[in-house]
Chain A
Amino acid sequence: MSVITAENISKKYIIDHKSSKRSNSIRDLVSDTFDSIFKPNKEENSKGKEEFWALRDVNFKIEQGDRVGIVGHNGAGKSTLLKILSRITNPTTGQVKISGRVASLLEVGTGFHPELTGRENIYLNGAILGMNKEEIRRSFDAIVDFAGVEKFLDTPVKRYSSGMYVRLGFAIAAHLEPEILIIDEVLAVGDAEFQKKCLGKMRDVSESGRTILFVSHNLVAVQALCNKAFFFEKGTLVDQGDTTHIVTTYLSKISQKNLERQWNSIDEAPGNDQVRIKSFKLIPEYQDNLMHIDVRTPMQLQFEFWNMEEESNLNLSMHLYSYTGECIFNVGTTSQTFSKGLVTGSCEIPGHFLNDGSYVVSMMIVKDTSTVVYNMEEALSFDVEDYREGVTWYGKWPGFIRPQLNFSISQTEPVVND
């Protein structure tokens, strides 16, 4: 039985490019109206406005008990869809039929009042999310326990740490008992331990046969929790189906990579009188027929340049930076003497080495082990996606690197009971 049926839903927004023309106060409205009456310059008035379709002709059916992950770039229409399904805004056209009680969690702790105590906020937030008093009273202890805020129940939440605040907010939402649960990106908050708790709770919810819609950028979590996925791009539902399939398609599309650069003639190539760059490539050895780099993927970097000086003593030095600019490592080759002509260097980055994240590579040509001849800054960039096996934790894996080391545990001395 399908619990949600969406037929041709679209949502249009009008974007006003001219901020000065926005009639956001009555004074502006009056002066705009005057302008439009006395200055018959129609073109100017219509120019600044643009239609923007946040969603366009979206059709889908969700069956009872489905756990649907929604993936897509920022601005692909995911949040708009959730807003429509949670009845916060109406679609411009089309309709959605929903059967069952819906609870939507677009934010943790919606409607918390900073001046009220934790206890009061549990009742307030519960009621806002659609629980009745009896339901809240029944799960009150479980909520407090889940959030771990017993000691601060009678403290105003404005004195809570942000972690406590989020925990309490999620705890309340986790104890909702709707038939359909809509969740937007709540895992982005909270510490690792709490995230684990949340995901565990969400799995419980899904196992009890309720329907879940889940938007997250955490693809590992989407894969672990959802049996179906929707892929949105520019407001349209481009693909739907099995989670693994959708996530793979999505990843191969989003990876913001610049894996190859090359120049065919010396004249166009970057460089100087001494060296000219011919090419710089990153060649991943994709795993499992995937088309994206994940933490398992070994990569080879190949660098070619024209040396234009005889008897030149050169070496290469490569820097790998995180997206935020920290240098993760710097490696260099030994120095060698080259004559004029093409020089090639290559470097292997093994699989199970870099953590998931975005990386930037710079390549430096050094003369006589001390003088930088040419530095090709931010030459390549690539994304490493997450991949996990045999874990039930989906929080962000900490660290820049994620090496596989010989790290083991074993029982050395069992306790013998007699």
Chain B
Amino acid sequence: MSHSVTIKADGSEKDYWKDLWRNKQLLWILSKRDISVRYKQTFLGMAWSVIRPLMTMLIMVFVFSFVAKLRPDPGVPYPLMVLGGLTIWLFFANTFTQISSSIVLNSNLVSKVYFPRLLMPLSAVAVGFIDFLISLVLFICLCFWYQYSPSWQIIFMPFFIFLTFLTSLGFGLFFSVVNVKFRDIGQLVPFMIQIGFYVCPIAYTSRLVEDAWWYKFYNLNPLVGIIDGFRWCLLGDKVFFNPISLYSTLVISLIALFLSVMYFRKKENTFVDHI
């Protein structure tokens, strides 16, 4: 028979990935669920997806440009630089947060029905991705406003989006597993995001820290490569982008992803015992 399985003590069976593929419809439906319940019983609904990045950008422009007098890369309007970085950062931050709480939020499913558990973190990406697309549209509108035309580098954008997805998965998966047993993660993640916001080159350009003695360590942050690279796609060669930071992102994110998936697979069958 086609649906033969052997349930054993040590972890899941071999054709886990086939099983995951078979359940792609469920992935789609879970994603749709997350998106459609997102703004239920809110007055402004989807508008929130526009308001939040817009307000964040306006506040940042005010604080960092007018008050703190941070300078953008030469030839690039500061609001464009901020929104460019903010767009991809929020994508990372949202998906990372969603992924790390995905198992706990779906605990009612975990304890009552079987499906490859990886579907939960994967479906958690959907909401962040929709928000991302909306703020990307916002960015394009702002480009028109500043009459700033994008350059050929924009063709690399899908690559950077995918890389961001892999990075958030690489780190999020690990936290989603730990969160099952230690709910401290729920407290820790927002805090990490808050720190990340200042550590990453969002409100400022990496050019400002290029000469610091710790710059080589700065590039160990996988988000630096992503944010600078994404900005480079949108705004062209005028923005600062050090390819070294991208290499370090690739190495760190892929290693993190590999380890996280291993860890997730090892633990997923015991989720129900801790939830």
Contacts and interface: CB of A to CB of B under 8 A. Distances in A.
A87 B29 contact: no
B9 A94 contact: yes
Interface residues of A, number: 45
B8 interface: yes
Contacts of A100: 1, 3-4
Interface in A12-44: 13, 24-27, 29
B25 interface: yes
A83 B271 CA distance: 13
Interface string A114-135: 0110001001100111101100
Contacts of B3: 99-102, 179
A24 B4 contact: no
B15 interface: no
A25 B109 CA distance: 23
Nearest to B273: A89
Interface string A350-389: 0000000000000000000000000000000000000000
Contacts of B247: none
B269 to A, nearest CB: 4
Interface stretch (B33-41, B79-87, B139-147, B217-225): B33-41
Interface in B105-128: 106, 108-115
Interface in B1-48: 1, 3-11, 25-26, 29-30, 33, 36-37, 40-41
A87 B7 contact: yes
Contact of B7 (A29, A98, A120): A98
B184 A27 contact: yes
B238 interface: no
Contacts of B106: 111
Contacts of A94: 8-9
B158 to A, nearest CB: 27
Contacts of B30: 124, 127
A6 to B, nearest CB: 9
Given A96-B6, A124-B29, A88 B112 contact: yes
B1 A99 contact: yes
B183 interface: yes
Contacts of A130: 115
A86 to B, nearest CB: 5
Nearest to A95: B8
B7 A111 contact: no
B184 A107 contact: no
* Max chain B C-beta neighbours (<10 A), residue from A13, A94, A102, A124: A124
A104 interface: yes
A128 B26 contact: yes
Given A29-B182, A88-B114, A115 B37 contact: yes
A42 to B, nearest CB: 24
A115 B39 CA distance: 10
Contact of B29 (A26, A89, A127): A127
**Secondary structure of the B contact surface, majority rule:** mixed
Contacts of A110: 108-109, 112-113
Interface in B168-185: 181-184
A188 to B, nearest CB: 15
Contact of A90 (B11, B29, B40, B113): B11
Contact of B112 (A92, A106, A124): A106
B114 A86 contact: yes
A29 B36 CA distance: 38
Nearest to B40: A115
A153 interface: no
A84 interface: yes
A71 B1 CA distance: 29
Contact of B4 (A27, A91, A97, A115): A97
Contacts of A106: 112-113
A113 interface: yes
B51 interface: no
Contact of A111 (B4, B109, B183, B184): B109
Contacts of A258: none
Contacts of A248: none
A116 B36 contact: yes
B5 A98 contact: yes
A9 B153 CA distance: 58
Contacts of B26: 127-128
Nearest to B38: A115
B189 to A, nearest CB: 13
Given A90-B8, A90-B269, A116 B33 contact: yes
A54 to B, nearest CB: 10
A109 B29 CA distance: 16
Given A24-B181, A110-B112, 12 more contacts: A25-B182, A88-B112, A88-B113, A97-B6, A98-B6, A104-B113, A111-B113, A113-B33, A116-B36, A116-B37, A120-B36, A156-B40
23 contacts: A25-B182, A83-B272, A86-B113, A88-B113, A89-B272, A89-B273, A90-B11, A90-B269, A91-B9, A92-B9, A93-B9, A97-B7, A98-B7, A99-B4, A104-B114, A107-B112, A115-B40, A116-B33, A120-B33, A124-B30, A124-B33, A128-B113, A132-B25
Going nearest first, the 8 A-B pairs with the smallest beta carbon separation are A87-B114, A115-B40, A127-B29, A96-B7, A90-B269, A99-B1, A99-B4, A110-B112
